A and B are shown apart, each in its own frame.
Chain A
Amino acid sequence: MAKKLMKGSEAIGEAAVQAGCHLFFGYPITPQNEIPEYLSSRLPQVGGTFVQAESEVASINMLYGAAGAGERVMTSSSSPGISLMAEGISYCAGAKLPVVIVNIMRAGPGLGGILPAQADYFQATKGLAHGDFRVLVLAPWSIQEAADLVQDAFDLADYYRNPVMVVGDGLIGQMMEPVEFYEDRKPIKELPPKTWASTGWKRDRPKAIINSLFLDPAELEQHNFDLKKKYDLMERDEVRFATYGSVDSADVVIIAYGTVARVCLSAIEALEEDGIKVAMVRPITLWPYPYEAVREVAAKAKDILVVELSTGQMIEDVRLALQRPRPIHFHCRLGGMLVSPEEVIAKVKAIKAGESEAMHYA
């Protein structure tokens, strides 16, 4: 398929269709409405179903039903809507259901604003909802990568029988860029048939019970251990990241993800022209986090700079990655304000000149 200029939201919707997702349930919220709008007209063309649910709470429970019945299914929302879905995502994780959730993050807390932010990092990677569970979190930095990761998300969800979340900020939803869909795309995992799904029981397999309730504590403990084994496999096999610049001898290494990393890359190119060597590690999976990659590049760099559209959430994972007390410099914009390349350039120069106050983690 030839490259096509697409808005991020539409590319995300089309990627789901290309991945064989024929069911979408969602509730309107800015700034991601173009995803459901696109799919409401696109899905009927492929015999699929779009339902505008009465709430995000209902949406995620519709996913629970559709995924339990063995079909690929997706929803999309933005920060406050994801909070409303949190309970249902926990149920999906507990019942081992493959669902794909797109969060086009906006600034918070509360109603916050409708402009881009990365303030839901903790929510996505650490404390999405009650109970001991994890979701795979993929963070694209371009529209092409968003389209690719959404397709991968369905394979990963099916393979691990686990929710997968794709997080972008408002820029990913609103930007237009050339996107290519590959007609001969193969699943990135070998996927067994869904014999566990509730498809009507002809007594030719065990009865399907889609459930997260275990009243026997010993049984629930075993269930939790089984889930943990799955999360361990994800941590071993699914870490994704990209590195840029002078990774072997940087004056400063930047850690950033999503569209912020693109802004930082522009800054890196300008700084290199000025003879300042800067590297960058860009986590593509926010969970599992690329701890080793961050540790290795940081070990070879004089200084570390974390750039985020939050008051400092991913920086806690950087600190974990370093495994020893070390100053970390931090730059952020909040509330829907964006980081500019000039700000990053100024920050790196200030670090070089010893004029940036680092955050010290002991």
Chain B
Amino acid sequence: MPEAVFVRPDSLTDVQTHYCPGCTHGIIHRLVAEVIDELGIRDRTVGIAPVGCSVLAYNYFDCDFHEAAHGRAPAVATGIKRARPDLAVFAYQGDGDLASIGMAEIVHCANRGEKVTVVFVNNAIYGMTGGQMAPTTMPGQSATTCQMGRDVELAGYPIRVAELISTLRTPAFVARASSHSPLAAVNAKEMLRRAFKYQVEGRCFSMVEILSTCPTNWGLTPAESTKWLEKTMLPYYPLGVFKTPDGDDRAPLPRKP
């Protein structure tokens, strides 16, 4: 029998996802699942799905799950973790969910130092509701609620969440990675692995922001989307580790993807 060299992670279910062609949610799901598998924590992991494109994540991850109200995943994560500190708890959120309606919850969850992990997928747009402007939408980027492009005079500049969270004094692991290329994905997995490890060791709150493409709502092909992310998002949303718990060195910045 030939050896299987590429299999579905144990922490993912064997179903077809509803994600659009070229969307990187599927890649990010897989990276999270591989990390859970490799740490051997699937049977004590509880995930939290947001409201947004990944609202049905509970169908794709093969572990216990909560579906949270819009933006409230970090509060739900707090409730689960405080109730059962032995669990590994992760919230999976998009940019409308986390950076707009849920900004209070993410800031205070991080500031309390809840021992949970937040996977923050930033694709610079509201995907599920049909392409409206997000707090992370790039200047000049068109969306259904800013059809001439984001006007920073009216809507301000995109929020850099990883940088914002890293200003908090409470120990945390905060990093930004991307999912637009194989090399970027490898680096994203390493960031996720560190984030989950910090939680499992009971050390600190951890959050990994992962840049993602949305060809459907960007109005681009998947290949064009990758190039657009590289050209437009990467300079504004630099990749790297922004914060580590006291005493831990930041890892070398990731190689240029």
Contact = CB atoms under 8 A, between A and B. Distances in A.
Interface of A: 23, 25, 49, 51, 53-55, 57-59, 61-71, 73, 87-88, 91, 95, 198-203, 207-213
Contacts of B78: 25, 51, 53, 58, 62, 65
Interface in B47-80: 48, 55-56, 58, 62-69, 72, 75-80
Contacts of A25: 78-79
A277 B112 CA distance: 60
Nearest to B13: A207
Contacts of A211: 58, 65-67
**B: contact size bracket:** 35 or more
Q: Is the interface of B mostly helix, strand, loop or mixed?
A: helix
12 contacts: A49-B82, A57-B72, A58-B78, A58-B105, A62-B79, A64-B68, A64-B69, A69-B79, A198-B66, A199-B87, A200-B45, A211-B67
A61 B76 CA distance: 5
Nearest to A52: B112
Residue in A65, A70, A71, A202 whose Cβ sees the most chain B Cβ within 10 Å: A65
Contact of B112 (A51, A55, A87): A51
B169 interface: no
Contact of B65 (A59, A67, A199, A207): A207
A196 to B, nearest CB: 10
Contacts of A54: 104-105, 107-108
Interface string B100-136: 0000110110001000000000000000000000000
A69 B75 contact: no
Given A69-B87, A199-B84, A210 B66 contact: yes
Nearest to A198: B64
A67 B80 CA distance: 8
B64 to A, nearest CB: 4
Contact of A201 (B64, B80, B84): B64
A71 B84 contact: yes
Contacts of B43: 200-203
Given A62-B78, A65-B77, A69-B80, A207 B46 contact: no
Given A88-B69, A198-B66, A207-B62, A68 B80 contact: yes
Residue in B46, B77, B81 whose Cβ sees the most chain A Cβ within 10 Å: B46
Given A69-B87, A198-B66, A53 B75 contact: yes
Nearest to A58: B75
Nearest to B108: A54
9 nearest A-B pairs in the assembled complex, by CB-CB distance: A65-B79, A61-B75, A198-B64, A66-B79, A62-B79, A200-B44, A54-B108, A65-B76, A61-B72
Contacts of B86: 200
A309 to B, nearest CB: 32
Contacts of A203: 43
Given A65-B80, A69-B79, A211-B67, 18 more contacts: A51-B78, A51-B112, A53-B78, A61-B68, A61-B75, A61-B79, A65-B82, A68-B80, A69-B46, A87-B69, A88-B69, A199-B84, A200-B46, A200-B84, A210-B65, A212-B67, A213-B55, A213-B67
